[in-house]
């Protein structure tokens, strides 16, 4: 039986699963009940799995085909956010202050749907398929934790994942090759000056002034240090300094993030920032230190894997479903899987203004059109089948 013929059969199941998980969100590394529910569904399907007991959350299921072959992994993230939901949905969050405001509920349901489809064609599968239900994507730590869990990653030859995307029209799917999502770094800059009375600035070294100068000078990193053909974003998201209106602050702490797609930029951006911070501070008689954390690398699709994904979309949803989408500067810890394995990361359109499913991700009104998730499940399943068949 073709996967396309299983899409409609499983549409209601996938929708119902998405709505169940939407109503029961859990935060990063706290997805204990979510993991139990996923395990229950895999039990019903007769799919063996192993829960990450070290974390108590996240699991990996396995479907072994009737014929030997390569190994492919399919991944879905499962965590929610610290957001108080403000929708009127019948299945809105039942957990105060927690919400699936990024679509991970849809990701769980989509992979479960793919698992159901794959089990119906199990005898035709040439190889092994791992089903990876990953915790803690929102904090960028879950992928590494799952890579270190068991032997599934070491055994995997290729990996596929997807993100439902509210800015993209429901039913459209993007799987093109190359750069898809940005690296996400964090930095903390600490400025040390000299505090004093607001009436005598000449006796001080004003940390607020120094911090302001650093913020402005950092903008030249993008405009004068990197090629205009490279996408780079340097953002100072917070500045904390001083505690009284008539005291000149002697210390300021800034936090922010850098986004880019090139590994060449990753190799130099920390040193470039340090140079700007130290030299700007020195010009005012102050000092500045930089703490720099590489949280996520860029997510880059392998061309051969993207070609497999494109054909899977054509088979399941039709060629009209394929759409080209510009790379985005959001980060995704799927990038860790792609550091050492080829694979593809897709965007599945979930936006539909007719049902108020057009709010941005992480918004308290976030929703997606879950009627299209069955096609997403079909693409997951078809990708696995096609990769294994092409590499038999």
User: Which amino acids are annotated catalytic?
Assistant: 79, 137
* Residues 212/280, Cβ–Cβ less than 8 Å: no
* Residues 257/235, Cβ–Cβ less than 8 Å: yes
* Residues 227/279, Cβ–Cβ less than 8 Å: no
Cα separation values, 137 from 15, 104, 249, 295, Å: 22, 9, 37, 11
Between vectors from CA 217 to CA 221 and to CA 236, what angle results, nearest 5°? 80
Place of tokens 């922010």: 256
* Residues 118/381, Cβ–Cβ less than 8 Å: yes
Residue 366 gets the label, from left (phi > 0), alpha (psi -120 to 50) or beta, of: beta
Count of C-beta atoms within a 10 Å radius of residue 49: 18
Please tell me whether 138 is known to bind a ligand: yes
Please tell me whether 102 is known to bind a ligand: yes
- Which tokens go with 47? 């799919």
Count of C-beta atoms within a 10 Å radius of residue 68: 10
What is the signed CA dihedral for 189, 191, 192, 196, rounded to 10 degrees? -140
- Which tokens go with 239? 């500045």
Q: Among candidates 351, 372, 369, which has minimal Cα distance to 360?
A: 351
C-alpha to C-alpha distance for 35 and 25, rounded to whole angstroms = 11
Residue set of the binding site for Mn(2+):
102, 104, 138, 163, 362
């Amino acid at each position: 039986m073709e996967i396309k013929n299983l899409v409609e059969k499983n549409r209601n199941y996938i929708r119902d699963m998405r709505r169940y998980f939407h109503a029961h969100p859990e935060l990063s590394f706290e997805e204990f009940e979510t993991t139990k529910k996923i395990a229950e569904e895999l039990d019903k399907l007769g799919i063996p799995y192993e829960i990450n007991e070290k974390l108590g959350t996240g699991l990996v299921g396995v479907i072994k085909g009737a014929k030997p072959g390569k190994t492919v992994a399919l991944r879905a993230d499962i965590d929610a956010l610290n957001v108080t939901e403000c929708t009127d949905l019948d299945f809105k969050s039942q957990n105060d202050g927690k919400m699936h405001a990024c679509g991970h509920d849809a990701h769980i349901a989509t992979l479960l749907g793919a698992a159901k489809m794959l089990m119906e064609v199990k005898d035709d599968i040439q190889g092994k398929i791992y089903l990876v239900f990953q915790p803690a994507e929102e904090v960028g730590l879950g992928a590494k934790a799952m890579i270190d869990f068991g032997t599934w990653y070491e055994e995997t030859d290729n990996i596929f994942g997807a993100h439902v995307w509210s800015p993209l029209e429901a039913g459209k799917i993007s799987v093109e090759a190359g750069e898809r999502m940005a690296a996400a770094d964090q930095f903390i800059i600490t400025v040390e000056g000299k505090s004093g009375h607001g009436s005598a600035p000449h006796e001080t070294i004003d940390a607020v002034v120094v911090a302001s100068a650093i913020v402005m000078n950092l903008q030249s990193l993008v405009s004068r240090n990197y090629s205009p053909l490279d996408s780079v974003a340097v953002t100072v998201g917070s500045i904390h300094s001083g505690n009284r209106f008539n005291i000149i602050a002697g210390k300021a702490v800034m936090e922010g993030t850098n986004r880019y797609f090139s590994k060449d930029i990753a190799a130099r951006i920390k040193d470039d920032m340090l140079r700007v911070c130290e030299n700007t501070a020195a010009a005012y008689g102050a000092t500045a230190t930089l703490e720099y954390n590489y949280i996520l690398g860029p997510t880059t699709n392998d061309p051969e894997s993207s070609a497999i994904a494109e054909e899977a979309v054509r088979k399941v949803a039709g060629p009209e479903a394929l759409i080209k989408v510009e790379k985005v500067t959001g980060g995704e810890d799927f990038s860790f899987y792609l550091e050492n394995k080829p694979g593809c990361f897709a965007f599945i359109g979930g936006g539909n203004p007719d049902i108020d499913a057009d709010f941005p991700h992480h918004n308290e009104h976030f929703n997606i059109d879950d009627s299209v998730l069955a096609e997403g499940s079909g693409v997951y399943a078809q990708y696995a089948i096609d990769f294994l068949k092409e590499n038999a």
